[in-house]
């Protein structure tokens, strides 16, 4: 490369950095900055009335999974913390699974309609995004509460003799998150199914494949990128959900998001809240790494 070409290349590189500098500044101060603050706070000591004491301490990280006895100082597993972690992961996985069970046939139905019908159906799928999450969650609350629409209808039919206790349970949180995050599963699945070549199904039937074999060996492998993308889009916000568990689960059925908020509020233990926040970030990053590796194995066409 000649000196003139090198000078031109350096000029183009400098121009690219200058053009991207506003976005980089925003990322540093609006995204990386707060995360760095949380990381620093997680290695400090808690103040008496909130805030932090600028003394290096690893107690917050120890307290995420262990608890110290107030009398002899011995460490033991923090059962309450572990239950919250397990409930968060369990409900997030169940929500992801059931949104897939409902979302896959829904996306398949939409993708196999005529173009005009598909546009209308996709419009109906996206309508919930136009409404605030809090309002949607309160709507579910009104449906499943003791005097809600569901119990009233079942009592009227004579299916039950007394109202079902659904509110403030893990089942209520699961229903709420499935309803809230279902569109996030349907849309990636629709995008994957829409590109699916239906002639492959005809070829499989010509080779005497059963419906189950067509689904398992033809359809699912090809739309796998959409399944993975939808699962990530549902799992990650479910894991850090705050509004839905707070309203439908009550104070007894907390998830990680509610537990973190409590540390910065009534708990007045900011370092522990910061450590939990960073831990949640690590879990989300691990999920994204799994998605990236799975998507990479699909090759350039996946």
pLDDT per residue over 94-106, tens digit each?
A: 999 999 999 999 9
Are 71 and 138 found together in one domain? no
Are 183 and 62 found together in one domain? no
- Residue pair 187/151 in contact by the 8 Å Cβ criterion: no
Are 141 and 256 found together in one domain? yes
Start-to-end CA span in the chain (Å): 37
Which of the listed residues 56, 75, 94 is the one where a domain comes to its end? 75
What is the spatial distance between Cα 259 and Cα 262, in angstroms, rounded to a whole number?
Answer: 5
**14: pLDDT confidence band, cut at 50, 70 and 90?**
confident
pTM of the model: 0.84
Is residue 302, in this structure, part of any structural domain at all? no
Residues spanned by the domain of 179: 79-297
- The burial class, CB within 10 Å (0-12 / 13-18 / 19+), for 290 is middle
Q: Which residues pair with 77 in a beta bridge?
A: 66
- The structural domain count of the chain equals 2
pLDDT tens for each residue of 113-156: 888 888 889 888 888 888 888 899 999 999 999 888 989 999 99
Pairing relationship of beta strands 66-68 and 52-56 according to DSSP bridges = unpaired
Which of the listed residues 45, 75, 105 is the one where a domain comes to its end? 75
């Amino acid at each position: 490369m000649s000196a003139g070409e090198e000078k031109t290349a350096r000029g183009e590189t400098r121009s690219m950095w200058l053009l991207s500098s506003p976005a980089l500044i925003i990322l540093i101060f609006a995204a990386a900055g707060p995360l760095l603050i949380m990381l620093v706070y997680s290695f400090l000591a808690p103040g008496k009335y909130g805030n932090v004491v600028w003394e290096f301490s690893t107690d917050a990280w120890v307290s995420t999974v262990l608890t110290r006895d107030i009398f002899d100082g011995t460490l033991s597993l923090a059962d309450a913390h572990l239950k919250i972690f397990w409930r968060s992961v369990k409900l997030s996985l169940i929500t992801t699974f059931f949104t897939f069970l409902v979302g896959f046939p829904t996306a398949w139905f939409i993708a196999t309609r005529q173009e005009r019908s598909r546009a209308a159906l996709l419009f109906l799928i996206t309508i919930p995004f136009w409404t605030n999450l809090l309002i949607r969650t309160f709507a579910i609350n009104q449906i499943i509460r003791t005097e809600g629409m569901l119990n009233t209808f079942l009592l009227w039919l004579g299916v039950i003799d007394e109202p079902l206790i659904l509110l403030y349970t893990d089942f209520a949180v699961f229903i709420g998150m499935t309803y809230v995050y279902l569109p996030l599963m349907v849309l990636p699945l629709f995008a994957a199914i829409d590109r699916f070549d239906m002639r492959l199904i005809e070829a499989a039937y010509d080779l005497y494949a059963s419906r189950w074999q067509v689904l398992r060996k033809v359809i699912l492998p090809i739309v796998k990128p959409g399944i993975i993308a939808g699962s990530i889009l549902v799992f990650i916000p479910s894991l850090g959900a705050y509004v839905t568990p707070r309203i439908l689960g009550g104070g007894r059925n907390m998830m990680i998001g509610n537990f973190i908020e409590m540390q910065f509020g009534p708990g007045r233990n900011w370092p522990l809240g910061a450590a939990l926040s960073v831990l949640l970030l690590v879990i989300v990053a691990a999920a994204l790494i799994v998605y990236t590796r799975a998507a990479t194995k699909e090759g350039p066409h996946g």
